[in-house]
Amino acid sequence: MHGRPRKDPRPKDDAAKAAHLRELQAQLLHNHRNRTYTKEALASCSKLLEINPEVYTAWNYRKLALQQDLDGVTGPDAVKSAIEDELRIVEIALRTNPKSYAAWYHRKWVLGRRLMPVEFEREFRLLDLLLNMDQRNFHGWNYRRFVAKLKNVPEEEELKFTKKMIDINFSNYSAWHNRSALLSHLLKKKSQGFDSKKNTLTEEYELVHDALFTDQSDQSGWFYHLWLLDRTVCLDYPQLISSWPTHKSDLILSKSNKIDGCQLFPSSNSSSFSLLHTGTFPIILYFDKAVKNIDSSTVTVSSVFVTNEDLNWRPLSTNNSGEACCWVTFLTVPEENCSSSTSYPVEVCLDRYKDIVSSDVSDCKNPSKFTFTVTFRSHSLEQTSKESVKENVVWSYVDQCNPQESSCLLSFDQLSINEDHAEEGFKWNLQTLSNEIELFREFNDEDSKFVKLTLARLLVAHDLMVPNGSHNQIKTHSGEVLTLYDDLMKLDPSHKRYYEDEQSVVLMDQLTSDKDSLTKHFWQFDEPTSSSFHHQYCLRLNELSLTRIGSVKNILWVQMLDLSHNKLRSVEGLEALQLLACLSLGNNQISSFTALEPLKPLSSLRVLDVSFNMIGAHAIDTTRYLCSSPLSHTLDAKQLDVGYEKENTEVRDHWEVASLFRALRLTQLDIKGNTVLNEKFSALAIELLPSLKWLDGKRVR
Amino acid sequence: MRSSSFYASYQTQHQAKGKAKARLMPLRIAHRRSAAPKTKDRRTRATTTRREARREAAAGRCSSSGLPRSGSSTPMESSPTRSSSSSLSLPPSPSDRQGRLTTTQLEQLRVEQEVYGIYRLFHGVAPHTRSFMVELWRDKHIEFLARGLKQLGPSYHVLDANRPWLCYWIIHSITLMGESVNSELEDNVVQFLSHCEDKNGGYGGGPGQMPHLATTYAAVNTLITLGSEMSLSSIHRENMLKFLLQMKDSSGAFRMHNGGEIDVRACYTAISVASILNVLDDELVTDLGNYILSCQTYEGGIAGEPGSEAHGGYTFCGLATMILINEVDKLDLPSLVDWVASRQGVECGFQGRVNKLVDGCYSFWQGGVLALAQRLLPIVHKQLESSFISGVQASAECKKSCNFTAGETGQDENLCRAGTSHPDNEGEKLSDFGFSSIGRQTECGPLFHSIALQQYILLCSQVLEGGFRDKPGKQRDFYHSCYCLSGLSVSQYSWSKDDGEPPLTSAVLGPYTNLLEPVHPLYNVVLHKYYKSHEFFSTL
């Protein structure tokens, strides 16, 4: 549609020309109707197309004529000449309008019939001519792909052509794009010369640097660089980067038949964990990218408690794509037949990596596995448990945690699955990233936001690739990245929120990446406020200006988390914290209940503080945009109670609240300081949360 | 740039949305040019020797790092043929400083300078003159357009195979400005288009020409825009469906015409026509969504055909098609929105592809995509709500609850023509998706800088003698008039909560009399004309 009206370059006598054209057009339609395919008729048709290549009827007429012509003639010369005519007319037409859909298609049609050997030289010459006139003509690029396929030109050759075009004009994004498409394909096929991703990408980096540093404000090179970076950090297979329980850990379970809440708060012993009300405990798998098809056929759990086939794995994400970074299953522990003196080994083995990736992968990785043991502690929690229900949790603390005391809390025994075979593969990626980092650092003296942003992305990518467990040897770059984002916010305030989000992720990663920094954020609850939380430790990540949640891979075991006094607008990511019992999100910028939807899968959550947020402050709920795919953002209708909502108009007005609260089993909710709060709402909350005991510090049941 | 704080809020809002997902890669944030003149200055005083070396290297087209490269990749030699006419775009001489810039960059600089010149002038003048400058010259435009309908200039001869397009561009533009053509002219147009209609369905580019999907789309939209009973009833819907089915390829996509090319444009025009005429059925939709999906590139936008690069016009066509066939959830919407939003550049208008020049017509193609995206979210909201309120009966069957259904369950029953291949859509007829996508509240503001876009259209695309153009220095034409005005309408209403609700004065750049009629963004026909036709065709 676009680019149709094209001025004739040599205006003649307009009226005469128009009359001539009308005449030609009339002749064409007449001949077409009468199926006249004489030489004269075809000549008149050619004249018409020469002036106006867009007359698609004329092209179709020519197709019919050619077909009939070929039926009549024999001998290669006649065929050749007929085809020659068609090709010539297309060329003339393209001279008039190089963007004529109909003309390009006619040529494809003629050549595609392969009536005679295609003179490829000529096709490429034509293409060179046209792509020289307009390097971005997508008809030309499409036609080039067509011809290359017709001739079976190796993709390597086409790659050289893109290089040639880039050398002529490095701003030519069409050439860069075609290059990325060709390379993706070649790398996937592992064609000769492209079997090593290393060598290929290294050369590409060199190529793009020329463009980037010649003019830092040119868009094309940066796009290509991003694509390269993506190829560099994107491993062919997903990796299990964290789990709960962790490898070689000893899990001590307190068995209890008590229902609900009371036993869920963590005991002082780190590795111990109280059984959920259903007599189950979770196994959480955390991958570096979203995977699918986690089920008993791809993951084998060997234990005495349950047969593997009975396990039901669930993706933890707010959309229904069936893909998630984080997956959970619940292991049911039989009521009686476990002795408290034995430790039962559990082995989790991912044996079919091939089936859990979305893209097709040729590399099959060795299986990764981890093991842990389970021991039961029969003496359970005593009297305190009962009281904790009645206790209103107040988020106040006496002191930072004593490092000695906390040491047992933290288990950084990361999965050691990758160290043997994967590290070798990482070496190149890391080296490449380091080279890029060095290069961009050198250019960071200027106030170029592109350089700064790219450098920040490179550093983050680098830190992510550093093999687990070796974080002590290789210094992380979080500090530098944080500074870069600070600079970017000043330099480019119109993207401030984006930079804030990116910074939050880095900051959170920095704080949780090692024991020392994490310990500083451990606080002991203030004893007098809550006897049941004696010796309870809470992870406090507050007053950090976090705007969103970063990676939680290192804090999967957290049961009490205080994120108050940040700037959180989204809590996506928290859905992975399956052990979380107490959560404070007070004094943040959460603007709706929709934003809290990631909390829905948290079956152990009992205490939630969302006081002093902005829920209800804005009529417009922008949170819907925050989910990864708004349209797959869905409500599980099965969780909803039939008949209930009909009688209650309040629910109708607050259906989002209902859908959230229905999924939660809260005993305590703090929601004061939000616009949405009024008496009606309180009543609704109490009604929707049957287990609720405390609302805004007041006993309700 | 005007109202930069506003600009900031749009940007940040958008970015926060796109990036909330915890993903490092791929990051598709736009690499907007920072203020270009400044950059150039910096380039000249740059002294880093390495940078000099690199620049030399790039200009001289040789390896920069000293690492040996494979000899075969030596540029200019590997090419099989080197046309004699290639001198047009030979690399500029490195001795010339400007010559260090690529032709693309030189052109971009020229456009920026031209546009900045206009904006500088605009900001330098007294406020009342400023208001005068951003006035929409309705009378002039009407004059230009009406003249086109009666008598075309000879330079339009190339459009002989596109005459329904001319009708559509002109009549849609006139209707956008709240005017209508007189009844005699209307009759003439209806009659003319009837001559273009093929006896077996579909419209050709002129009388006697074979039917073609693009001209069919233009003809149908024209007739709907004219809106009279005669005009609407002149369309032979049953033949139309036959024609559309004939154009359906086994791959699921559509051909432009018998023996013609297959692309996303063909898919959109076919589906738009079928939907607006209320003849959309399962057979037309089969496998189409997968074809469109195969055209979405890693950049985020949609290409004309698989393997090509993302393009604004096709992105509109692809997204609108997916919405109309209720498969929009298949697309990667966040990256699509990212890509499109980032195509609005420092010139305030949109570019069509990465590193191309700004062009007024993308005000609609790209702006329209964002207007559609803005509407997708409330529908999801509504759908979630209704699935909650109206109970659980859906949940038993609803495997794919992400349906783009309207959820107006009451009225669906009699409309229901249950498609067996779409059990999920039961209760909603395929043609209804075009209708249900509008007429309800949008919950958020525009996903682009709507005032800036209006500024580009009114100051840079508007031709004082009437009509609109691609960019300063280009000639006006009807195509650009149509899509600049459509884009202007989309941006004026982008802050309205309800479709068609008059916007606040602050949402309209210039005097409030600039306000155009609202359009239905899926079909690009004026909204009240659409309603009228919907009523007409839904009872047939």
* Alpha-carbon span A165 to A128, nearest angstrom: 10
The per-residue pLDDT for A194 is: 72
Query: Min CA distance, B478 vs chain A (Å)?
Result: 8
Give how far the C-alpha of residue A282 lies from the chain's centroid of Cα atoms, to the nearest Å. 25
Query: Min CA distance, A100 vs chain B (Å)?
Result: 11
The per-residue pLDDT for A319 is: 65
Distance (Å) of CA B217 to CA A699, B179, B244, B277, B403: 66, 22, 11, 11, 27
- Residue of A134, A177, A477, A507 to mutate, interface with B, max B Cβ within 10 Å: A177
Cβ distance A599 to A583 under 8 Å? yes
Nearest to B376 among A102, A497, A631 (CB): A631
Structure tokens at A419: 């160290």
Query: Is the CB of residue A234 less than 8 Å away from at least one CB of chain B?
Result: yes
* Alpha-carbon span B334 to B342, nearest angstrom: 12
The sign of the CA dihedral B52, B54, B56, B59 is negative
Cβ distance B318 to B292 under 8 Å? yes
* Alpha-carbon span A113 to A73, nearest angstrom: 16
pLDDT at A465 over 50: yes
Helices in A35-75 by DSSP H: which ranges?
39-51, 56-72
Query: Min CA distance, B125 vs chain A (Å)?
Result: 27
Q: What are the tens digits of pLDDT across the range B260-276?
A: 999 999 999 999 999 99
Residues in chain B, pLDDT under 50: 1-98, 383, 390-426
If you measure CA to CA, which chain A residue comes closest to B91? A168
* Alpha-carbon span A543 to A511, nearest angstrom: 13
* Alpha-carbon span A122 to A132, nearest angstrom: 15
- Mean pLDDT score, A337-364: 68
Q: Catalytic positions of B, please?
A: 311, 353, 356, 359, 361-362, 470, 477, 480
Nearest to A1 among B11, B16, B313 (CB): B313
CA nearest A181: which of B80, B294, B69?
A: B294
* Alpha-carbon span B110 to B485, nearest angstrom: 25
Q: Which residues contact B74 (CB under 8 A, 6 or more apart)?
A: none
Label residue A68 by pLDDT band (50, 70, 90): confident
Query: Is the CB of residue A4 less than 8 Å away from at least one CB of chain B?
Result: yes
State the residue for tokens 């046209």: A130
* Widest pairwise Cα distance in chain B: 76
pLDDT at A219 over 60: yes
Edge-to-edge strand list for the sheet holding A280-291: A240-244, A280-291, A324-332, A314-315
The per-residue pLDDT for B364 is: 98
Percent of chain A having pLDDT more than 70? Answer: 76
DSSP readout, B188-213? HHHHHHHHHB-TTSSBBSSTTSPB-H
State the residue for tokens 């408690």: A305
Structure tokens at A429: 């990626």
Structure tokens at A465: 């690739």
* Alpha-carbon span A582 to A594, nearest angstrom: 20
- A522, containing H or E segment: strand A522-525
Give how far the C-alpha of residue A56 lies from the chain's centroid of Cα atoms, to the nearest Å. 43
The per-residue pLDDT for B379 is: 52
Percent of chain A having pLDDT more than 90? Answer: 29
The per-residue pLDDT for A365 is: 58
CA nearest A681: which of A666, A697, A661?
A: A661
pLDDT at A377 over 70: no
Give the start-end residues of each E strand in B110-246: none
Give how far the C-alpha of residue B274 lies from the chain's centroid of Cα atoms, to the nearest Å. 19
- Mean pLDDT score, A188-213: 82
Grouping H, G, I as helix, E, B as strand and the rest as coil, residue A323 is: coil
Give the start-end residues of each E strand in A267-412: 272-274, 280-291, 299-302, 314-315, 324-332, 343-350, 368-377, 397-400
Other C-beta atoms closer than 10 Å to the C-beta of A240 total 21
Contact call for B443 and A622, based on CB within 8 A = yes
- B285, containing H or E segment: helix B282-285
**Cβ neighbours of B61 in A, within 8 Å:** 167
If you measure CA to CA, which chain B residue comes closest to A101? B261
Paired strand residues for A668 = A607, A694
**Cβ neighbours of B65 in A, within 8 Å:** 206, 209
Cβ distance B173 to B467 under 8 Å? no
Contact call for A52 and B475, based on CB within 8 A = no
Cβ distance A2 to B165 under 8 Å? no
- Residue of A217, A496, A645 to mutate, interface with B, max B Cβ within 10 Å: A217
Q: Considering only A59-63, A295-299, B42-46, which range has the smallest mean pLDDT?
A: B42-46
The per-residue pLDDT for B1 is: 37
If you measure CA to CA, which chain B residue comes closest to A134? B89
Q: Chain A 437-476, CB below 8 Å of chain B: which residues? A: 442-443, 445-446, 448-450, 453, 457, 460-461, 464
Q: What are the tens digits of pLDDT across the range A131-181?
A: 988 999 999 999 999 999 999 988 889 999 999 999 888 899 999 999 999
Residue A251 one-letter amino acid? L
Other C-beta atoms closer than 10 Å to the C-beta of B11 total 24
Residue B465 one-letter amino acid? E
Q: Which residues contact A663 (CB under 8 A, 6 or more apart)?
A: A599, A600, A601, A639
Q: Which residues contact A364 (CB under 8 A, 6 or more apart)?
A: A237, A353, A354
Q: What are the tens digits of pLDDT across the range B207-266?
A: 889 999 999 999 999 999 999 999 999 999 999 999 999 999 999 999 999 999 999 999
The per-residue pLDDT for A431 is: 87
Q: How many CA atoms lie within 13 A of A248 on its CB side?
A: 7
Give how far the C-alpha of residue B448 lies from the chain's centroid of Cα atoms, to the nearest Å. 13
Q: Predicted ipTM?
A: 0.75
Q: How many residues does chain B have?
A: 540
Contact call for A637 and B88, based on CB within 8 A = no
Give how far the C-alpha of residue B191 lies from the chain's centroid of Cα atoms, to the nearest Å. 29
The per-residue pLDDT for B226 is: 96
Structure tokens at B281: 């059925």
Nearest to B17 among A168, A550, A626 (CB): A626
Paired strand residues for A343 = A375
The per-residue pLDDT for B335 is: 82
Q: Considering only A262-271, A296-305, A688-697, which range has the smallest mean pLDDT?
A: A262-271
Q: Considering only A105-109, A395-399, B35-39, which range has the smallest mean pLDDT?
A: B35-39
CA nearest A241: which of A304, A176, A285, A182?
A: A285
Paired strand residues for A376 = A253
Helices in B390-466 by DSSP H: which ranges?
393-397, 409-415, 432-436, 450-455
CA nearest A557: which of A288, A241, A272?
A: A272
Rounded to the nearest integer, the mean pLDDT of chain A is 78
Q: How many residues does chain A have?
A: 701
State the residue for tokens 């695309």: B461
DSSP readout, A254-305? E-----SSTT-SPPSSTTEEEPPTTSEEEEEEEEEEEE---STTTEEEE-SS
Paired strand residues for B302 = B296
Structure tokens at B79: 């090419």
- Residue of B102, B353, B469 to mutate, interface with A, max A Cβ within 10 Å: B102
**Cβ neighbours of B215 in A, within 8 Å:** none
Residue environment code for A223-234, b if the CB has 16+ CB neighbours within 10 A, otherwise e: bbbbbbbbbbbe
Cβ distance A693 to A687 under 8 Å? no
pLDDT at A530 over 80: no
* Alpha-carbon span B535 to A621, nearest angstrom: 32
The per-residue pLDDT for B388 is: 55
DSSP readout, B316-359? HHHHHHHHHTT-GGGS-HHHHHHHHHTTB-TTSSBBSSTT--B-
Query: Min CA distance, A484 vs chain B (Å)?
Result: 16
* Alpha-carbon span B486 to B363, nearest angstrom: 8
CA nearest A146: which of B306, B295, B85?
A: B306
pTM: 0.76
* Alpha-carbon span A262 to A381, nearest angstrom: 9
| Axis-axis angle for helices B264-276, B312-324 (nearest 10) | 40
Query: Is the CB of residue B73 less than 8 Å away from at least one CB of chain A?
Result: yes
